[in-house]
Chains A and B, each alone.
Chain A
Amino acid sequence: MDFVKGLFDSDKESDSGSAKKNRQKMNKNFDKADKYNSKKKAKKDEDVTGVPRRPNRSNKVGPGADVPDQSVAMNNLDSSEDMPEIPMRPKSRAVILPSGLIIGSEDDSSVHTSTLSSHSSDSFNPRNGLPGLARIEVEDVDNGLVEDDKKSSTVKRQVRTLDGAGRRKSSAHFGRSVSAPAGEKLSLAERRTLRRAERVGVVEKKQLPFFTRIAYEFTMGIQKTTRKIQEGFRNAQIWGPSIKELEGNLGSGVSTYFRVLRWLLKINVISMVMALGLIATPGIWMNEHHDLPDTSLNKDDLNCTNPNFVEGNDTAADVANYILQFLTGQGWMEGTALYLGWYPASNITRTSGDTEKTTYNFPLAYLLVGLAYFLVALMFILNNIARLFKKSAAEKIETKTYSELILTGWDYTIQNKKTAQLRSTTVIKSLKEALSNDAQKFVKISFKKEIGIIVLRVCTNCVAVAAMIGTVFLYYREVVRGTSEDAANSTNACGEKLETADFSNLTDIEINEISAELITRELARFWSSYSASIIVSLSNILFPIFFEFLGQYEFYRFQSTRIAITMVRSFVMKLFSVCVFLYVLYQATKPSGGIMETWQRDNNTLLYNCWENYIGAQLYQLCIIDFIVFCTSLFFSEVLRNILINNIKWFRSKVEQPEFNIPKEILDLCYKQMIFWSAIFFSPLMCCVAVIEVIVIFYLRKASALRNVRPPQKVVLTSQSSSMVNAVFLVSLIFVFVFVGLVIFQFKPSAHCGPFRGKTKIHEPLGLLIENSGGFKTYIYDNLKMTAVIVSIVIIVLLIIYYFKSLAASRNLTIKLLRHQIKVEHVDKQFLIEHIKSQITGKPVQEGKKDGTVSRMSHSQLSGELANKTKKNMTIHRYANPSLKI
């Protein structure tokens, strides 16, 4: 399934996109210079923006793809060089129709028509020309009338070269095709000659006025540098060869998954740089220099979450402890920079004379960076969404199933014969499916059957929802139990500290006994503290399979519906599981009435000295467990399965080679990213974990995909699905943000740890900053807190969205009309061609037809102009949106 077709590759594409723009700009500059030169050279010359002269070689491809339907005849008639034997009016080659319409013909293969009165050449730039009636230029008419002597034609050629070469290189997209048909291509050698001629022109730029030249050189310099920088970026594209290899073996659909991974890597690397640069480094520096009173940290405060961490003499127990604690993220891990609790609460200050000046407000920095992670991620997602939205809002996307399968069906990136075969089979299957879908549309299902199916679907949906709720309840209970068990243990934890410290006085045997006991206890604890994460991770693996199974018995008419429904269910499930996890954490740690708080009040002891660390540790656990589950499932479902299939005959007949399920895998990535996002505030170094994990996943997946997996069976290329992926990431981000926001605005920070110790709320530093900075900002801040303001902002945003939606709708109507006009225009064109033919051969045109055209002419010109505008719009679109890939 080509799922995210196109999205996440943005970098490369937009790079190349802007490179295109750049080149184009350059060409414009060339044009300017050329215009200047050419004015000097030949006043009578035709427009500088003329088309590259068509080489006169016997072309293998039909010459006139410009107006290809009829223009073959037309071109041949027009160009005296091509077909000299056709009797044409020898000198003046412009045909003036009775309606005042002039058809000028150049030795270019394009046709120029014009009404002398209505257009000036300036307002009608051929570059924006439109498919249809060709371009209209007054100059051309003159030109057509002027005798074509050889001298002027050489000059002309030279002038054209400049533009022609530049334009071609610049990517030819603009209206070039209007005048230069598809068949018209200059070979590289020809272009080189042109370019050399162009070089001559460049030398002559010294003739330009001083200031013009300076401006010209300045802009050229800037453009060249930006281009170089962009190229540098493009060359630095990571994983390019890997992705190419995957593309070659599994098709461009699968490579999308890896592009999403690369995209995530970018987000995480940026977060990592922020975390390391702005939080970790200053934090470490300040903790090293803890001469300041409140930075000194009591290690015990941090370690309290793990009751059983004992610094005994026994190495085995130690090692086991270390490993277990590494996996649970508790114990010694809690005394490290991994978690929020470790960071100092002071500012970096500089004393100059008597006054002490704060140079780095650490708590504020921590808070702002914590929010900046989300901002970065949001920007990345919105960037993608905006690009897609521009495309889809401009025109309602029609589904062209068959064209898509036939004309874009072949994936040119495929290099592997087996994949080629599979691709081909896939295309055939999809074609058959499309045909049967078409047939299905006309099949009536009996009322009874329909009722049956509806009842069945209601049942399956109930089952799905019940299963979800069941799981959610299960791990809600697990977490609650885990917390209260922790609570029970924690008397040992904080209370027993003194007792455990006595270990050094015991004999060796006793120590061994105790440490053995400790290990079993640790294992039991391992389960109790991990059970929640394990349930979450397992449900994430099992539920998609279950949903897929369920989907098979729901009799969906179209396979695509089934896949979509399965996807939505899986996503809801994943979202649910993370949200419940977060909700439970919130419940456990919330300041008033929370589980922990109640327990603490009842027992009159502190359960966790540092709840921030507790949240961080839970999420760290979840992340680690999820990664382990990912590796195991990868091993069993792909590696082992493939080995068995390859080596055991019985297996081969029963089980198929695993298929790369792109949407499922991408959802999985989204889930992982969601955990990172929620953990990042509580443990800044989680972004390093995230970066490492993304890299490891990339290589594991790549290795497995190249060996064990076959490409997906279905070609589904819908832009809806790509926007769906973005939506999925956006929704996850919002949910996580709500959680973090609640924590920031509602929780009281722990008294003894973290940069916010001693404050009433985490967001306090920000509030202080704003209050100190002046009245107006305070006013804004105070008002922002009001619900009414937020609600009204939301309403305004909704209104804006509504406005754009209706704009898009009205545009669609215009497009419909324009489309109709294109059809009408086509009829016009045919008439014109016939008319010209009759002029040449001397046969009169049938009267009736002629009248029809004259009256239609104005209409067609109108439509031409309109279509021209749309064309412009569309081009702009393509620019704004250069990467329909990712």
Chain B
Amino acid sequence: MGQGTSAYDQSELAEFQDLTYFTKREVLHVHKRFAELAPEKVKQHGRNPTLTKEEILLLPELAANPFKERILEVFSDAGDGNMNFEQFLDMMSQLSSKAPLETKIDFAFKIYDFNEDGQICENDLQKVILFLVQPAVTGATLTSDERNQVIKNKSCRVSNKKEETVLTEKEISAIVRNVINEMDMDDDGSISYLDFKHGMSKLNGFEESFKVTL
């Protein structure tokens, strides 16, 4: 097996092309970007090394995203965020603009389903909001420790910020209630996958904003 970055031959590329939403050229591009993240490892372990979460997070396309760690966790096999090239390719393919809406909705559902119980419940939504407002609160994205802190305290109030950029706990719970009201079709108090799928396909802007192009 391979050495060097473009170690994939045509038939392998064709295979990738069939297995992902990418064209051959795009697969190579993704591989190049992947190899750039940890050139050392690629040298050592050939073309399909496993990179740690931290290494993948070096990607500028993900850097500003508050959900970045969550994305990697959802997509890695072991759930720890470490992934090899094929997993990475798979992830990028599903995040690409060519992935169909339904795939994206699946993906988004898993990202937002923090406790992984197959439903987006109030707690999950609260977390989504906290993640969402986090860049405004901290000015940048947090390390995972800090994030846990934020989630634990359920507050995104940071002392040096103006009042208007802060959501109070009361507001957050009002928002959560509203979201569930809007999305929950079967009236069970949480957003099931079907609710989610139905609701998301009606929302504007999801398909455009839920994509990462390498």
Contact = CB atoms under 8 A, between A and B. Distances in A.
B116 A62 contact: yes
B166 interface: yes
A231 B205 contact: no
Nearest to B136: A424
A826 B67 contact: no
Contacts of B208: 2, 5-6, 252, 413, 884-885
B206 A408 contact: yes
B193 A65 contact: yes
Contact of A68 (B95, B119, B174, B204): B119
B3 interface: no
Interface in A803-840: 819, 822-823, 825-826
A189 B194 contact: no
B35 interface: no
B178 interface: yes
Contact of A72 (B78, B118, B167): B118
A183 B118 contact: yes
B164 A429 contact: yes
B21 to A, nearest CB: 8
A413 B18 CA distance: 25
A231 B23 contact: yes
Contact of A2 (B125, B200, B205): B205
A406 interface: yes
Contact of B203 (A247, A403, A414): A403
Given A12-B97, A403-B199, A431 B167 contact: yes
B134 A424 contact: yes
B132 interface: yes
Contact of A403 (B95, B136, B182, B193): B182
Contacts of A154: none
Interface stretch (A99-107, A165-173, A671-679): A165-173
B168 to A, nearest CB: 10
A189 B134 CA distance: 35
A63 B113 CA distance: 12
Interface stretch (A324-332, A393-401, A571-579, A779-787): A393-401
Contact of A408 (B67, B99, B190, B203): B203
A187 B205 contact: no
A182 B110 contact: yes
Contact of A417 (B64, B118, B133): B64
A412 B209 contact: yes
A411 B188 CA distance: 29
B201 A411 contact: no
Interface stretch (B38-46, B50-58, B82-90, B146-154): B82-90
A69 B186 contact: yes
A412 B133 contact: no
Contacts of A235: 23, 25
B140 A417 contact: yes
A26 to B, nearest CB: 9
For chain B, what secondary structure do more than half of its interface residues adopt (helix, strand, loop), or is it mixed? helix
Interface in B169-202: 171, 174-175, 178-179, 182-183, 185-188, 190, 192-194, 197-202
Contact of A195 (B15, B185, B197, B212): B15
A187 B194 CA distance: 23
Contacts of B119: 68-69
A857 interface: no
A395 B190 CA distance: 24
B135 A423 contact: yes
B143 to A, nearest CB: 14
Given A68-B192, A131-B194, A415-B64, A717 B106 contact: no
Interface band, chain B: 35 or more
Nearest to A720: B204
A766 interface: no
B203 A407 contact: yes
A16 interface: yes
Contact of A826 (B178, B187, B206): B187
B198 A131 contact: yes
Contacts of B34: none
Contacts of A406: 125, 128-129, 132, 175, 179
Interface in B77-124: 77-79, 86-87, 89-90, 95, 97-103, 106, 108-110, 112-113, 116-119
B118 A171 contact: no
A64 B210 contact: no
Contacts of A65: 106, 109-110, 113, 118, 192-193
Contacts of B136: 421-422, 424-425, 427-428
Interface in A381-437: 395, 397-398, 400-404, 406-417, 419-425, 427-429, 431-432, 435
A71 B89 contact: no
Contacts of A701: none
Contacts of A597: none
Contact of B182 (A188, A402, A415): A402
A67 B100 contact: no
A169 B18 contact: yes
A173 B100 contact: yes
Given A6-B208, A252-B209, A421-B135, A402 B178 contact: yes
B107 to A, nearest CB: 9
Interface in A134-178: 165, 169, 171-173, 176-177
Interface in A707-721: 717-719
Nearest to B166: A428
A182 B106 contact: yes
Interface of A: 2, 5-6, 12-13, 16, 19-20, 57, 60-69, 71-72, 131-132, 165, 169, 171-173, 176-177, 181-183, 185, 187-189, 191-192, 195, 231, 234-235, 244, 247-248, 252, 395, 397-398, 400-404, 406-417, 419-425, 427-429, 431-432, 435, 438, 717-719, 819, 822-823, 825-826, 874, 878, 884-885
8 A-B pairs with least C-beta separation: A68-B118, A424-B136, A62-B118, A826-B186, A60-B79, A420-B64, A65-B193, A173-B102
26 contacts: A2-B204, A2-B208, A13-B97, A60-B74, A61-B113, A61-B116, A65-B118, A68-B193, A131-B197, A173-B103, A181-B193, A187-B87, A188-B90, A247-B213, A402-B182, A403-B179, A403-B183, A406-B129, A406-B132, A410-B66, A420-B65, A420-B135, A420-B141, A421-B135, A424-B136, A719-B204
Given A69-B188, A407-B199, A413-B211, 17 more contacts: A6-B204, A60-B74, A65-B118, A68-B118, A69-B192, A173-B101, A398-B202, A403-B183, A407-B112, A408-B204, A413-B209, A417-B135, A424-B136, A428-B166, A432-B171, A435-B174, A822-B185
